[in-house]
């Protein structure tokens, strides 16, 4: 029976995919927690003994890969790993891990961050939803108590903006999710270089479910998503899934033309009525406003052209250097 028509396995082979970038401070802690979780699920007969953790080293500059090798030596059946030849970013590393899990013919894969902010205990509920027929199960935060007011506000604004732009996303969901082999097969057909999995996965369709969990604090180390990367990630999400910014530019241009015509008519009326007043202030404001609109428009159009440039080169998203 093909993956597209296969029924959910009552005892699935599970892969937990964990992208890592300079995570030597937290990796052993994470490995210990995930080993305990897998052993508990296997002991209960929920998953098969072939289930494993797949660490993806995204070109780390520290000892992350060495630790992954050591973990594999200690538990060769539980800890697997792939190393990317160069740092390609979280989304590409995650995609590499999911495709590696797909090649291993797992029944389902759970993706989560290496810092244990995603609650491993939520995997139990994800598997329950999977066995009830869900092909994709989203891990959704039930609160943002651990976030600063700034991060909480910008996160909510991001999801609202994505919705306004016509992109389907799951509010308060990052990349903590379960995907069946069927869903992984569908995901493998997406060939774009500019990956935004939080938008791609909801577009796959299939039966979905949500599992709510309390997001914890980072177990160790520092966040790999500073404000600059968060802004870049948000812009990638918008420009990868929506053409509305281009429509907005068109609207702004038309509005500027209308305003210009109105001002021209007003100027003619003022001249013929003898009430024209030399006003350099209004001229300067007009120049700055129009100049700013033009530069902004060029920037947005340039972003889309840049993405086209990256796509048409058709370079590989990543190159695997090692696999254990």
pLDDT (tens place) for every residue of the chain, 324 residues total: 444 546 777 899 999 999 999 999 999 999 999 999 999 999 999 999 999 999 999 999 999 999 999 999 999 999 999 999 999 889 999 999 999 999 999 999 999 999 999 999 999 999 999 999 999 999 998 876 666 676 667 777 777 777 776 677 788 888 999 999 999 999 999 888 778 888 889 989 899 999 999 887 765 656 555 656 666 666 666 666 666 777 777 777 777 767 766 766 766 676 677 665 666 446 755 776 677 677 777 777 777 777 776 677 677 778 888 899
**Domain containing residue 51: CATH number:** 3.90.550.10
Do 157 and 230 belong together in one domain? yes
Choose the final residue of a domain: 212, 242, 272: 242
Do 163 and 116 belong together in one domain? yes
Choose the final residue of a domain: 182, 212, 242: 242
Separation of alpha carbons 65 and 56, rounded Å? 9
Between helix 64-74 and helix 27-43 the angle, nearest 10°, is 30
Residues contacting residue 178 through CB under 8 Å, at least 6 positions apart: 108, 109, 110, 123, 126, 127, 129, 130, 134, 136, 137, 139
Q: Is the residue at 3 inside a domain?
A: no
Do 56 and 134 belong together in one domain? yes
Do 195 and 253 belong together in one domain? no
Indicate the SS3 state at residue 189.
coil
- Residue 73 confidence (pLDDT): 95
Q: Is the residue at 9 inside a domain?
A: no
- Residue 2 confidence (pLDDT): 43
Question: Which pair of tokens denotes residue 318?
Answer: 């990543």
Do 236 and 270 belong together in one domain? no
Q: Is the residue at 318 inside a domain?
A: no
Residues contacting residue 49 through CB under 8 Å, at least 6 positions apart: 42, 77
Do 93 and 116 belong together in one domain? yes
Do 237 and 254 belong together in one domain? no
Q: Is the residue at 80 inside a domain?
A: yes
Do 66 and 41 belong together in one domain? yes
Range of the domain at 278: 244-313
Separation of alpha carbons 141 and 173, rounded Å? 6
Separation of alpha carbons 309 and 299, rounded Å? 15
- Residue 135 confidence (pLDDT): 96
Choose the final residue of a domain: 218, 242, 266: 242
Q: Is the residue at 290 inside a domain?
A: yes
Q: Is the residue at 238 inside a domain?
A: yes
Q: Name which of 199, 205, 162, 160 is nearest 182 in CA terms.
A: 205
CB atoms within 10 A of CB 320: 14
pTM: 0.75
Do 112 and 203 belong together in one domain? yes
Separation of alpha carbons 243 and 239, rounded Å? 7
Q: What is the CA radius of gyration of the chain?
A: 25
Do 28 and 151 belong together in one domain? yes
Q: Is the residue at 7 inside a domain?
A: no
Separation of alpha carbons 16 and 104, rounded Å? 12
Question: Which pair of tokens denotes residue 237?
Answer: 């999400």
Q: Is the residue at 322 inside a domain?
A: no
Separation of alpha carbons 160 and 202, rounded Å? 16
Longest dimension (CA), the chain: 93
Sign of CA dihedral 167, 171, 172, 175: negative
Give me the number of domains the chain comprises: 2
- Residue 15 confidence (pLDDT): 97
Do 130 and 252 belong together in one domain? no
Do 178 and 110 belong together in one domain? yes
């Amino acid at each position: 029976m093909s993956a597209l028509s296969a029924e959910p396995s009552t005892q699935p082979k599970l892969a937990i995919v964990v992208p890592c970038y300079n995570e030597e401070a937290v990796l052993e802690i994470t490995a210990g927690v995930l080993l305990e979780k897998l052993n508990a699920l296997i002991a209960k007969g929920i998953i098969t003994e072939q289930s494993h953790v797949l660490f993806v080293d995204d070109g780390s500059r520290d000892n992350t890969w060495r630790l992954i090798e050591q973990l594999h030596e200690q538990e060769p059946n539980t800890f697997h790993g792939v190393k990317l030849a160069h740092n390609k970013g979280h989304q590409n590393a995650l995609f590499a891990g999911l495709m590696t899990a797909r090649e291993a013919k797992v029944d389902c894969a759970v993706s989560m961050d290496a810092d244990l902010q995603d609650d491993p205990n939520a995997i139990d509920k994800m598997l329950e939803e999977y066995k009830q027929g869900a092909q994709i199960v989203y891990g959704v935060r039930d609160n943002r108590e651990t976030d600063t007011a700034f991060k909480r506000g910008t996160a909510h604004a991001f999801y609202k903006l994505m919705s306004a732009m016509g992109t389907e996303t799951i509010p308060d969901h990052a990349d903590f999710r379960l995907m069946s082999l069927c869903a992984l097969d569908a995901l493998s057909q997406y060939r774009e270089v500019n990956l935004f999995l939080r938008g791609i996965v909801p577009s796959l369709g299939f039966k979905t479910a949500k599992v709510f969990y309390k997001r914890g604090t980072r177990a160790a180390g520092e966040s790999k998503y500073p404000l600059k990367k968060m802004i870049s990630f948000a812009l990638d999400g918008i420009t990868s899934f929506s053409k509305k910014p281009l429509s907005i530019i068109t609207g702004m241009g038309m509005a500027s033309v209308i305003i210009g015509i109105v001002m021209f008519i007003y100027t003619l009326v003022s001249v013929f009525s003898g009430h024209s007043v030399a006003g350099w202030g209004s001229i300067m404001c007009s120049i700055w406003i129009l100049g700013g609109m033009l530069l902004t428009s060029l920037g947005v159009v340039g972003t889309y052209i840049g993405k086209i440039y990256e796509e048409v080169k058709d370079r590989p998203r990543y190159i695997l250097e090692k696999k254990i």
